[in-house]
Amino acid sequence: MSLTLQQALNITQGVFEAGITLKTAPLTVAVLDSGGKLVSLQRQDGSSMLRPDIATAKAWGALALGCSSRKLAQDAEIRPAFISAINVLAQGNLVPVPGGLLIKTETNQIIGAVGISGDLSDLDEKCALEGILHAKLYSLDT
């Protein structure tokens, strides 16, 4: 199964609804397929210009290393040299802070990742999870 455009848009809708409920700053949502290719990139009015790159890097890092960007942040605290070396290999496309989650099916197949940027990283992550659930999909972190 592949992540569809409609699923990516449903995730984005759920993220934006969660952002409204939580009263977040303007959010940017990047949804990637399992091969790391961009399926959807949406940003709310007022979202700053670097947010698309940050959101994409959160999702890409989750896919590249098979875990949430929160886990990457924890690894960065424990093994900073390792994460730094990985980021060099990733050509700087890794942002090890919460806000990037893997997307999976009910049979645990990873079909993509979502990355959120715009507010505090914990809120970005909460909105990412809400978006995944809104699309009736799952995350390894749920």
Domains and CATH numbers, the chain: 5-134 (3.30.450.150)
pLDDT of res. 140: 76
Is-contact 106 64, C-beta < 8 A?
Answer: no
Distance CA 55, CA 11 (A): 14
Distance CA 100, CA 103 (A): 10
Distance CA 101, CA 123 (A): 13
Write the single-letter amino acid at 82: F
What pTM, to 2 d.p., does this model score? 0.96
Is-contact 120 84, C-beta < 8 A?
Answer: no
- Identify which of 130, 141, 64 has the alpha carbon closest to the alpha carbon of residue 101: 141
pLDDT of res. 1: 81
- Identify which of 54, 25, 47, 44 has the alpha carbon closest to the alpha carbon of residue 114: 54
pLDDT of res. 141: 61
Residue stretches of the chain with pLDDT short of 50: 142
